[in-house]
Chain A
Amino acid sequence: MGAWAFGIRIWLAVVVALLASFWLELEAPSSAAVTVAILAVPTRGQALDKAVYRSIATLIGVTASLAITGIFSQTRDLLLAALAGWTGLCVYAAGLMDGTRAYAAVLSGYTVALIAIQQLDTPEHVFEGGMARGAAIAVGIVAIAIVNDVLAAPDNHPQLASRLAALHGRVRDYANAMFQDVASDTIAAAGLLRDIAALHPDLTSLASESANGTVRGAAARGTAVALVAAVSAARALKALPLTADTGMAARDLALRDAQVRDGLTALGTGTRPRRAWRTPLYRSHEIAAAAGIRAAACIALAAVFLVWAGWPTAEFSLSLVVVVIGLGATTPSPNGFTVIAFVVAPIAAALAGTLEFVVLNGVNEFALLALALAPFVIGTAVLSTRSNPVLASLGRLSLVFMLVIFAPSNPPAYDPQSFLFTSLFLCVGIALLLAAQMLIPTESSERRQNWILTSARRDFERVLSRRDRGLAPEEAMFRDATRIAQIPASATNPRDSAVLAEALSYFDRAAAIRLARAQEVVS
């Protein structure tokens, strides 16, 4: 039921965005519809959060487009190199963030492709292109914000509270469980820390939800930090020998449990929590830099091929390559994302073709356009809410690509040649990217593990030499938990278990030292 309501909201928002863009006679009405499709997330707070970052990133991207075009408009090859460099930089920045912030970073990158590259032969129109895109995005944002408000889209905080409560139960179970060996204990603890750290993007998006958003955000962050501290306390308690006096460790665990309960109550009632903790995020600069370099190299390869091929609308393909690289960089597996995009492109082309030439087939009335859009938009939006990640990505990408290919305009074009070119170059662009990603290898998971472990060792040495940053012990624990969450590991590989065990040992020891120091200061 919730999924269908979500689908109907997205359809209504697309219709409102198109109606407003046609009425305002915007140059790029389809961008407004695509904005709605991109902001199609089930809860109001997430949509608003993404909208804010989309606006900021568009502003940065348009400014970068103007600068890049201004400097390199006479030298095509340097302009393409600048695009590759800028996108690589943005993908690197995205690697240091998560959630909507990472999305904003890549959007700043691919906005340059959508504006500067699509106007490659007419650099004097870059400014108008940027303004038209900005205006359409603003209309799209307003449309989805109003539809979400009026149709009472659900808030994110009840869902987040239930996920935090479920994790609280799991942390309690973990504290009470007796594991047969160290390996299963390690995997259970790492799994818990991974699931708590996975909530980080949601913790930061609560602020824009309502007047109480900042307070609820603080409560949710405090709860997540307390959950990590509870895992740490449970591990400290388990590490003690049976004969030892466990009183202090047990009291610490009980304190963390009470802090989690306080946080959950504050989140539910919308009151200020007793303790406000930040949730610092660990990101590996090495992994982010490798992703940035790979993205720049993929764009450079695709650009060389397209320049060499000399096709008439190659700039459209290149801009799509950059968009797919950018969107893929915000997912755990960029190559997997490209494969899904490669599968979705022909499906989206078929959907857009059916909509344009079978269902609508020459009509001019807006009401008929709105009605014809309904099954396509609602169907793909409902698909995007499925719990299966492949189906969800399929739905989300079909919705965006379908609207990109269909590109509703006023008056409608119904141009089969333009439809065929757009569909063909979409598929060609993604196929090129897939080939480039196969040619340029990704770093192995062993290397990633080594980078993360090296940083864990370095940070632990800083703790020992009292050079660690000014974070509260609990906040530092959360940061360490987000580091463990990034270690690529499978439950069956003994090497992965050893890596996780080493990372957890740094986590435990650093936490114990920091807490002891904090108590020294208090006493």
Chain B
Amino acid sequence: MHAFSELIIGDVFLAPFISYAVTALVIILALRPILRLCRFDKLFSHPAVAELSLYVTILGLLTVAF
């Protein structure tokens, strides 16, 4: 078990999940140029579902790791 660190902005506590979700979104946006170079759109029949799965994976990894 590890303690979740809460984000505190001006005495307002934000749930750790929000910081994970936003960080995962930033990571996936930063990954987009690399995904394009890997021809990610051509690898899957439904690239949107694949991208969503990638987001969920990154979110899960962040939650487990931090």
Contacts and interface: CB of A to CB of B under 8 A. Distances in A.
A212 B50 CA distance: 14
B2 interface: no
A214 B36 CA distance: 10
Interface string A373-402: 000000000000000000000000000000
B1 interface: no
A210 B51 contact: yes
B51 A211 contact: yes
A149 interface: yes
B7 interface: no
Contact of A211 (B36, B49, B52): B36
B49 A150 contact: yes
Contact of B36 (A149, A153, A215): A215
B65 interface: no
Interface string A147-162: 0111011000000000
B46 A212 contact: no
Given A210-B41, A211-B41, A270-B41, A152 B49 contact: yes
Nearest to A214: B32
B35 interface: yes
Most buried by A among B36, B48, B51: B48
Interface residues of B, number: 12
B32 to A, nearest CB: 5
Nearest to B38: A211
Contacts of A211: 32, 35-36, 40-41, 47, 51
A58 to B, nearest CB: 14
Contact of B48 (A44, A131, A214, A270): A44
B59 to A, nearest CB: 11
Given A152-B49, A211-B40, A211-B51, 18 more contacts: A131-B12, A148-B48, A149-B48, A149-B51, A149-B52, A150-B49, A150-B52, A152-B46, A152-B48, A210-B47, A210-B51, A211-B35, A211-B36, A211-B41, A212-B41, A214-B32, A270-B36, A270-B41
Q: Which 9 A-B pairs have the closest CB atoms?
A: A211-B35, A149-B52, A149-B48, A211-B32, A211-B36, A211-B40, A212-B41, A212-B36, A152-B46
Interface of B: 12, 32, 35-36, 40-41, 46-49, 51-52
